[in-house]
Structures are given as structure tokens and as C-alpha cells.
């Protein structure tokens, strides 16, 4: 079990009190199963230290080793002996310094120094910094902004709960953020999703904006935070349940979702390389609706990456992952080729076809709109088993029913054609995300909708 002791030093503008506990700072921290945050205000700096026992949390130390012009941070790490960080003394770098500190592949103990009040200029918001980060091509919104934002978040209300933990709406400096709180037992999921969100060049307007990942320790409780943009409309599932659509709203939802998926699937080459990424759990509950009526892809915890130069997929041996109702036929009957990355992308496209069906049902035509329903609602129980799904999708090769009214509406008729080409039984016959995006763009153009 890897145990990581950490020390953070922050520059503060108005230090008001001094608290010292040197014994706890360097000795007790690594004897316990949770961290001990200390606050030592002295000389305009705040020092915090503690210990984390969970294996894999070295990622926090590794991730903070890059100094970005946007982030004045210095960190030093060591792993050669117990309490080796007692003699580490990193110095605060000059503001806007873009130099890098040495990289340690597997640090055990670390001490970090950061400047707390330099992330945002007066009047600057999370959105401003997100747009800046997007122009640089970085993965996260703020390079290693975790320490500053995470400990200042006020948790306002719980919005969801799942197998991994809970989702909260929080506030940071009066701005709303979403906080996904993982149970300590779900550390692997937290690490995986953090890794995906920090992928170079991942940031896109139709992929949920990542802000930070952090660990919060309070007493005997360790919480793993994933902090992202907050979208008050909630998931596409929630939105469709309560909101009927006109053709413009339908196409906006569909096109923006396809655009996000297309970016996720795409491998980008250049001075930096973005790997192709397959989602593996696409469903309407994992797509969020923004204020402007467009969507962003979220919940990347099961995603897998592929680098063409390595010709490998970073997927675990377990094949059956995702939500059963949205699983592609080749996933259900366990014939998905795990060595061929296109197989994962085509499984995503099957799921996306079902999402298009959900969206199209809520579009009004001839004064009629269908009540929101999940795919296969009339063929399956509320919580179908893999056997139930296999029987319907693989053996009988059934798909969701297509309302007859769609055939008398040109826009819905084209949507019908699009979804059926996405959920084809043969993966090789399905459309790619790029093809779907281009088709939807043409449909929007024909409706005089500006993209």
C-alpha cells in the first residue's frame, strides 16, 4: 500500500494567526489512514500537510509537477525514505512563470508551494478561465487549481446519487459548480475519470468542462472530489422528461451531442496529441443540457483511450461495462473485439442511436408529442437483466418502435433514418460520429438554423 505524505505552502495576502504543530506535521500523519491538515500562517505563507494511505493517490503529486503560465506553483517530491520531505524546501516561483520542475515517476512524499490569489485577475470568472484554457488546448479548465478551489467550495444541495457516490451543486466565489463526490472505495473510478478529463486537447464546448480533482479529508472520512461546470437543466433524460421540443430544439440537442461525441472519438495530431476516446456508457442520463439548449457529454468514468502509435486499448479485461439498456448487441453477446478500437466506437454509436430516438419522440409534429420513455420501455422490465436485453436486442433483433407520424414530417423522417443507421445490428454498417454530425449539420441548414 502506497502512503503519500504531502505538505502544501500557500502565499496569503493577510496572515492573521500563527498555529504550529511540527510533531503532527512530520510524524503522526503517516501513521493513520487519513490525512491531517495543519494550518501554519507565517511570513505570508500557509503550510498544510497530511497523509493519504490509498494506493494510487500519487497522481496528485505527479499532476502538480507542471508549472503553467497560468499557475504559479512549485512542488518537490521524494520517495527514498520515511519522512524524506522534511528536508524539502520548494520556493514560490515568479508570477506567470512557465518553467517546469523535475518529474518523479513515483513520488512517495512531497512538499508543494503555491500562490493562492494569482489564479484569477480582478473580475475574472470560472468561465473566463475556461475559455482561456480552451485556447491553450489544455485538458482541464485550470492547471492544478484543485487546492485553491476544492477547499473553498460550499456544498449547497445534493442533486443525484449513484453506485460511485453523490453529485452536489456547490458554490465557489458565488459561482455554481458541480461536485461529484466518490466514496473512498471508488478510488479507482475517481482516478480513471480524472485521468480522462485531464487528457490533452479534450476540452470542447460539447464535453462537460472539467475544473479540478481533489481529496478532502475530514476526521475519519476521505472524500474524492471531481469538480466540473454546473448545468442547471440537469441531464438530457431530465430535460426530455419535462420539455417538449420543436424541430430547432431537437436538432440543437442532437447536433451538439454528436459534436461532443465526434470530438471524443477523434484522434488529434500536432505538437500535442489527443488520443481517440470511446465513452462506453452513453445514455441520456450521461449527457447534460446547457442553458442555451445545447448538450455536453459527461460521465467519462468508463471511457477508454487509444493511441495509434501504441496500437493498444487501455481497457480492463472485463468486457461487459455500461448500462444494460443501452448496450450494443456485440457487447451483450460478448463478441466485441477488444483488440480493435473501432469496435468500441461503434458500440458508442449504437447507444447514440437510442439517444436520438429519445430526443425525436419529444419533438412536436402535427400537434402531437409522445410522452418521454426510455428505449425498449414496452419490451423490457424497469431494470432489465443482461439476459432480458440479449433476448430482445440479439436474438429477436428488435429496436425501439418508430411512431408513424414521423414519416409525414421531413425532419423527423430524416432523424428516423439517422437513428436506424446508428443502431444497425452489424457494427460495420453503423454511421460514425463524424457522419452523424455532418448529417445533422445539413438538416440544421435546411431548417435555417445557425450552428
Active site amino acids: 281
Element (H, E) at 263: helix 247-265
- Residues 6 or more apart whose CB falls under 8 angstroms from that of 286 comprise 235, 279, 297, 298, 299
C-alpha cell belonging to residue 205: 464546448
Q: CB of 299 within 8 A of CB of 281?
A: yes
- Tell me 370's DSSP state: P
Cα–Cα distance for residue pair 8/113, rounded to 1 Å: 6
Q: Which of 195, 213, 110 is CA-nearest to residue 153?
A: 213
- Using CA atoms, how far residue 399 sits from 102, 351, 380, 388, 433, in Å, is 55, 12, 12, 14, 20
Residue 101: DSSP 8-state: P
CB burial readout 9-35, b (16+ within 10 A) else e? bbbeeeeeeeeeeeeebbeebbeeebb
Q: Count other Cβ atoms within 10 Å, centred on residue 335.
A: 12
DSSP state of 223: E
Long-range contacts of 181-189 (CB under 8 A, 24+ apart): 181/223, 181/224, 181/225, 182/223, 182/224, 182/225, 182/226, 183/224, 184/54, 184/221, 184/222, 184/223, 184/224, 186/224, 187/54, 187/55, 187/56, 187/57, 187/224, 188/56, 189/164, 189/301
* DSSP at 393: I
Amino acid at each position: 500500500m502506497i502512503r503519500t505524505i504531502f505538505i502544501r505552502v500557500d502565499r496569503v495576502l493577510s496572515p492573521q494567526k500563527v498555529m504550529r504543530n511540527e510533531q503532527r506535521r512530520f510524524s503522526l500523519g503517516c501513521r493513520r489512514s487519513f490525512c491531517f491538515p495543519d494550518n501554519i500562517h507565517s511570513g505570508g505563507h500557509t503550510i498544510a500537510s497530511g497523509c493519504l494511505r490509498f494506493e494510487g493517490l500519487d497522481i496528485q503529486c505527479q499532476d502538480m509537477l507542471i508549472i503553467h503560465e497560468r499557475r504559479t506553483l512549485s512542488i518537490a517530491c521524494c520517495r527514498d525514505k520515511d519522512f524524506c520531505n522534511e528536508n524539502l524546501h520548494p520556493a514560490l516561483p515568479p508570477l506567470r512563470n512557465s518553467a517546469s520542475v523535475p518529474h518523479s515517476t513515483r513520488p512517495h512524499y512531497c512538499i508543494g508551494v503555491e500562490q493562492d490569489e494569482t489564479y484569477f485577475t480582478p473580475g475574472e470568472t470560472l468561465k473566463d478561465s475556461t475559455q482561456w484554457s480552451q485556447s491553450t488546448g489544455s485538458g482541464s479548465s485550470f492547471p492544478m487549481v484543485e487546492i485553491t478551489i476544492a477547499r473553498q467550495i460550499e456544498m449547497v444541495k445534493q442533486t443525484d446519487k449513484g453506485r460511485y457516490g453523490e453529485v452536489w451543486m456547490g458554490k465557489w466565489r458565488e459561482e455554481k459548480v458541480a461536485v461529484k463526490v466518490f466514496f473512498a472505495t471508488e478510488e479507482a473510478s475517481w482516478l480513471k475519470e480524472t485521468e480522462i478529463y485531464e487528457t490533452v486537447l479534450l476540452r470542447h464546448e460539447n464535453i462537460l468542462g472539467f475544473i479540478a480533482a481533489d481529496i478532502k479529508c475530514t476526521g475519519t472520512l476521505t472524500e474524492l472530489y471531481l469538480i466540473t461546470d454546473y448545468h442547471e437543466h440537469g441531464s438530457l433524460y431530465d430535460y426530455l422528461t419535462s420539455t417538449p421540443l420543436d424541430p430547432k430544439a431537437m436538432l440543437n440537442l442532437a447536433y451538439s451531442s454528436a459534436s461532443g461525441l465526434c470530438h471524443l472519438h477523434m484522434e488529434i495530431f500536432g505538437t500535442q496529441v489527443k488520443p481517440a476516446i470511446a465513452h462506453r456508457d452513453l445514455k441520456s442520463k450521461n449527457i447534460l443540457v446547457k442553458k442555451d439548449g445545447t448538450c455536453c457529454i459527461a460521465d467519462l468514468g468508463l471511457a477508454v483511450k487509444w493511441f495509434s502509435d501504441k496500437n493498444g486499448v487501455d481497457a480492463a479485461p472485463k468486457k461487459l461495462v455500461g448500462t444494460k439498456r443501452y448496450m450494443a448487441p456485440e457487447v451483450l453477446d460478448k463478441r466485441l473485439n477488444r483488440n480493435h478500437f473501432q469496435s468500441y466506437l461503434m458500440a458508442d454509436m449504437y447507444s447514440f442511436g437510442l439517444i436520438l430516438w429519445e430526443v425525436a419522440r419529444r419533438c412536436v409534429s402535427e400537434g402531437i408529442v409522445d410522452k418521454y420513455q426510455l428505449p425498449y420501455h414496452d419490451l423490457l422490465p424497469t431494470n432489465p437483466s443482461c439476459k432480458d436485453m440479449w433476448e430482445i436486442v440479439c436474438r429477436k433483433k428488435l429496436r425501439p418502435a418508430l411512431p408513424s407520424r414521423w414519416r409525414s414530417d421531413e425532419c423527423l423522417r430524416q432523424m428516423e433514418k439517422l437513428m436506424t443507421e446508428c443502431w444497425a445490428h452489424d457494427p460495420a454498417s453503423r454511421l460514425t460520429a463524424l457522419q452523424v454530425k455532418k448529417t445533422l449539420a445539413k438538416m440544421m441548414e435546411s431548417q435555417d438554423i445557425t450552428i
